[in-house]
A and B are shown apart, each in its own frame.
Chain A
Amino acid sequence: MSGIIKVENLSFGYTPQNTILKNLSFEVVPGAFVGIAGPNGAGKTTLLNLLCGLLSSDAGSIRIAAADIDSYSVKELARKAAVVASEFVPVFDFTVEETVMMGRTPYLGTFGFESEADRQIAVEALNATDTGHFASRPLGSLSSGERQRVFIARALAQNADILLLDEPTSFLDLKHQVGIYDLLKATQVEKGKTIVTVTHDINLAAQYCDKILLLGADGTYEYGCAGDIFSPEQIKKVFGVRVFVGKVGREKFFIPLGKFSKDSRQISEKANNDGPAGTLP
């Protein structure tokens, strides 16, 4: 199966002297769930903005659904890839349903009125994200978790095969973090969407993602299965942090330990004595 997203030798820098993405190549197969991880400034959000056409690359190519990204118009690209980023809430009080309905924008005609079919798609998106019960509330009155779900609903209403997300769980509590990832997994499995999400939470990424793209701050990168990419050595190398590694079942989990963490010394001693399940590099 060929990739729905195919990135080849991609390079990008905001200034000519300072390239943050160097010769990046990877491929995402249709229906995959890919996590992009890495330290601040490694270019995760930049990569996402390149993938949705907000930025254009300095060198290399991005192919979306077998066509070069530059060959799409803004409208055509919005039918291929929907984006959820840290979204700005406008001064005018649009309601939840009005906002979700705007996901249909790339399909509207001259005067921009939605058809019954558009309406149906928006209702489905509201139901899928469990936002239907506050559909008539203004956007400004929602909590961050609710609002994030509304923006995901809008992206679903866009009916694109690819869903790009930029840290969808930042500022959310544990329940809502898991809720968002469950929702994404459900869309992947039930609707066959390809999901690419930028995340800081390597534990959630390990639990939900099929593949991980780990970007280093120096322009290096690793791409592969979560189990292979997330190793204590890699994390130490990329993030510069010691981690405690454990294993629940299939996937590992990581607890970062700083110099003054309560368990920092304890774990070091334990590791020296018997090197058990939990190990430190």
Chain B
Amino acid sequence: MAELLTSKKLAIKVVLCLAVLAVVMGFCALKGTEKISLTKVFAGPGENTDYDIFVGVRLPRIILAALVGAALACSGVALQAILRNPLADPYILGISSGAGLGVIIAILSGISWSFWGGSPMAVFAFAGSLATVWLVWYVGRFAGKSQVTSLLLAGVVVNAFFSAVIMFLTSVANSQQLRATIYWLMGNITEKDWSVLLISAACILAGITGLFTICHRLNVLSFGEEQAKKLGVNTERTRVLAFGFAAFITAIAVSLSGLIGFVGLIIPHAVRLVFGPDHRQLLPLSAITGSTFLVIADTLARTVFGQEQLPVGVITAIAGGPFFLVLLARYSRKVSWLK
């Protein structure tokens, strides 16, 4: 029984991974079109351009990327578990199209008020995602006996319907509005205020902590509803909690940065391939790996083409795909040295 997870082993792995994340974040914050040096940054504020760029521009953006990466990866873990479907990702139940619809309505209507520091796009995206999730959950619950299948079906149908509405609306939009919409749909990380960051960080961390408390139940739930019940798990409650927390953190991530694809799908798989399927370990390590991955991807997005910035969603798909295939080939026969 040497290989079994204990809280101590997990703590060590989490600390190691956090250290890697911190190094990556620090390194990425120094990279950019404007060259800055670490010694100058440490000189502190006041007449110090390097410090202003580091603290005022780079750091918030990098922290944002880390938050979004963690949220998407954790949401993917939770949804793959409750849907018992390895193809599930944070957007599978229609969150993407709901948020997209919210954003395009915000852009077309030209609303300009803001809420808690969030832009109208962010507010509409958040509202759109939560409304869609509620709709899918509501329809899925009453659609049939096999909840998993009816949830998935409801998600697919709602997704298809809202996508059609989005296409209709984009076809009547003017080119300026169109560009803003498409950039958002591709997933785009931009500089945000510290106040927005703090609120989002609190919400996302709370959501991830909530998910962490049900991780051992997710383990049992991946054996199916009946077995989980026989092992003393309140499956209904577990699923509501997992679904609720996942939807909440995804909605925040989406309202912050648009539809960044791929992170929520491949990060849980990558971590599972290396560390095994135990959710108590999979969730925290996926959060940290997701953060690291998105920080690197965003740094590439803002540096590869000099002044011209790419949407980070393009980078996650282009870099993430091949990386994941290599990992799959390497680990599909289980290696035990990292477990």
Q: Which residues of A contact B (CB under 8 A)?
A: 52-54, 73-79, 82-83, 85, 87-95, 97-98, 101-103, 105-106, 108, 110-114, 119, 122-123, 126, 135-136, 138, 154, 158
> Do A110 and B231 touch across chains, with their CB atoms under 8 A apart?
no
> Do A122 and B1 touch across chains, with their CB atoms under 8 A apart?
yes
> Do B227 and A94 touch across chains, with their CB atoms under 8 A apart?
no
> Do B216 and A53 touch across chains, with their CB atoms under 8 A apart?
no
A-B pairs with beta carbons under 8 Å apart, 6 shown: A75-B233, A90-B277, A92-B86, A103-B231, A105-B216, A123-B1
The answer, yes or no, to whether B166 is at the interface (CB within 8 Å) is no
- Chain B minimum-CB-distance residue to A75: B232
> Do B234 and A87 touch across chains, with their CB atoms under 8 A apart?
no
> Do B280 and A111 touch across chains, with their CB atoms under 8 A apart?
yes
Q: Mark B201-229, 1 if CB is under 8 A from A, else 0.
A: 00000000000110111011011101101
Question: In the complex, which residues of chain A have a beta carbon less than 8 angstroms from the beta carbon of B35?
Answer: none
> Do A111 and B231 touch across chains, with their CB atoms under 8 A apart?
no
Question: In the complex, which residues of chain A have a beta carbon less than 8 angstroms from the beta carbon of B34?
Answer: none
> Do B223 and A105 touch across chains, with their CB atoms under 8 A apart?
no
> Do A93 and B277 touch across chains, with their CB atoms under 8 A apart?
yes
> Do A78 and B231 touch across chains, with their CB atoms under 8 A apart?
yes
- Chain A minimum-CB-distance residue to B80: A92
> How many Å lie between the Cα of A171 and that of B245 in the bound state?
41
> Do A135 and B1 touch across chains, with their CB atoms under 8 A apart?
yes
Question: In the complex, which residues of chain B have a beta carbon less than 8 angstroms from the beta carbon of A101?
Answer: 4
The answer, yes or no, to whether B308 is at the interface (CB within 8 Å) is no
> Do B230 and A52 touch across chains, with their CB atoms under 8 A apart?
yes
- The B interface is mostly helix, strand or loop, or mixed, namely loop
> Do A87 and B223 touch across chains, with their CB atoms under 8 A apart?
yes
- Chain B minimum-CB-distance residue to A138: B334
> How many Å lie between the Cα of A103 and that of B213 in the bound state?
18
- Given A77-B232, A97-B1, A106-B231, A88 contacting B224 (CB threshold 8 A): yes
> Do A79 and B232 touch across chains, with their CB atoms under 8 A apart?
yes
Q: How close is A264's CB to chain B, nearest CB, in angstroms? A: 41
> Do B232 and A105 touch across chains, with their CB atoms under 8 A apart?
yes
Q: How close is B16's CB to chain A, nearest CB, in angstroms? A: 19
Question: In the complex, which residues of chain B have a beta carbon less than 8 angstroms from the beta carbon of A122?
Answer: 1
Q: How close is A11's CB to chain B, nearest CB, in angstroms? A: 22
Residue tally, chain B, CB below 8 Å to A: 34
Interface contacts beyond A93-B276, A98-B277, A126-B1: sample of 5 additional A-B pairs, CB < 8 Å, sorted by A: A82-B230, A85-B226, A98-B276, A114-B6, A119-B1
The 10 closest A-B pairs by CB, nearest first: A112-B216, A78-B232, A106-B232, A92-B277, A75-B232, A90-B222, A88-B224, A83-B230, A105-B231, A113-B7
> Do B334 and A105 touch across chains, with their CB atoms under 8 A apart?
no
Question: In the complex, which residues of chain B have a beta carbon less than 8 angstroms from the beta carbon of A77?
Answer: 232
Q: Give the contacting residue for B223; candidates A90, A111, A123, A136; CB below 8 A.
A: A90
The answer, yes or no, to whether B84 is at the interface (CB within 8 Å) is yes
Q: How close is A54's CB to chain B, nearest CB, in angstroms? A: 6
Q: How close is B294's CB to chain A, nearest CB, in angstroms? A: 24
The answer, yes or no, to whether B278 is at the interface (CB within 8 Å) is yes
> How many Å lie between the Cα of A11 and that of B276 in the bound state?
45
- Given A108-B216, A158-B231, A97 contacting B4 (CB threshold 8 A): yes
> Do B233 and A74 touch across chains, with their CB atoms under 8 A apart?
yes
Q: Mark B264-292, 1 if CB is under 8 A from A, else 0.
A: 00000000100011101000000000000
Q: Give the contacting residue for A91; candidates B216, B222, B276, B278; CB below 8 A.
A: B222
Interface centre among B7, B223, B272 (most CB of A within 10 A): B223
The answer, yes or no, to whether B47 is at the interface (CB within 8 Å) is no
> How many Å lie between the Cα of A90 and that of B277 in the bound state?
10
- Chain B minimum-CB-distance residue to A82: B230
> How many Å lie between the Cα of A158 and that of B277 in the bound state?
21
> How many Å lie between the Cα of A102 and that of B226 in the bound state?
14
> Do A74 and B234 touch across chains, with their CB atoms under 8 A apart?
yes
Q: How close is B206's CB to chain A, nearest CB, in angstroms? A: 15
Question: In the complex, which residues of chain A have a beta carbon less than 8 angstroms from the beta carbon of B216?
Answer: 105, 108, 111-113
- Given A74-B234, A77-B232, A111-B212, A92 contacting B222 (CB threshold 8 A): yes
- Given A113-B280, A136-B3, A88 contacting B230 (CB threshold 8 A): no
Question: In the complex, which residues of chain A have a beta carbon less than 8 angstroms from the beta carbon of B7?
Answer: 111, 113
Question: In the complex, which residues of chain B have a beta carbon less than 8 angstroms from the beta carbon of A93?
Answer: 276-277, 334
> How many Å lie between the Cα of A74 and that of B277 in the bound state?
25
- Given A87-B223, A92-B277, A98-B278, A78 contacting B4 (CB threshold 8 A): no
> Do A54 and B280 touch across chains, with their CB atoms under 8 A apart?
no
> How many Å lie between the Cα of A73 and that of B1 in the bound state?
31
> Do A111 and B213 touch across chains, with their CB atoms under 8 A apart?
yes
* CB-contacts of B284-305 with A (<8 A): none
Q: How close is B89's CB to chain A, nearest CB, in angstroms? A: 15
- Given A97-B3, A110-B213, A92 contacting B272 (CB threshold 8 A): yes
Q: How close is B199's CB to chain A, nearest CB, in angstroms? A: 26
Question: In the complex, which residues of chain A have a beta carbon less than 8 angstroms from the beta carbon of B226?
Answer: 54, 85, 88
- Given A85-B226, A93-B277, A102 contacting B232 (CB threshold 8 A): no
Q: Give the contacting residue for A98; candidates B4, B227, B334; CB below 8 A.
A: B4
Q: How close is A216's CB to chain B, nearest CB, in angstroms? A: 26
> Do A112 and B232 touch across chains, with their CB atoms under 8 A apart?
no
> How many Å lie between the Cα of A83 and that of B230 in the bound state?
6
- Given A97-B3, A106-B231, A91 contacting B86 (CB threshold 8 A): yes
Question: In the complex, which residues of chain B have a beta carbon less than 8 angstroms from the beta carbon of A87?
Answer: 223, 227
Q: How close is A107's CB to chain B, nearest CB, in angstroms? A: 8
> Do A105 and B233 touch across chains, with their CB atoms under 8 A apart?
yes
- Chain B minimum-CB-distance residue to A137: B334
> How many Å lie between the Cα of A97 and that of B278 in the bound state?
12
> Do B3 and A95 touch across chains, with their CB atoms under 8 A apart?
yes
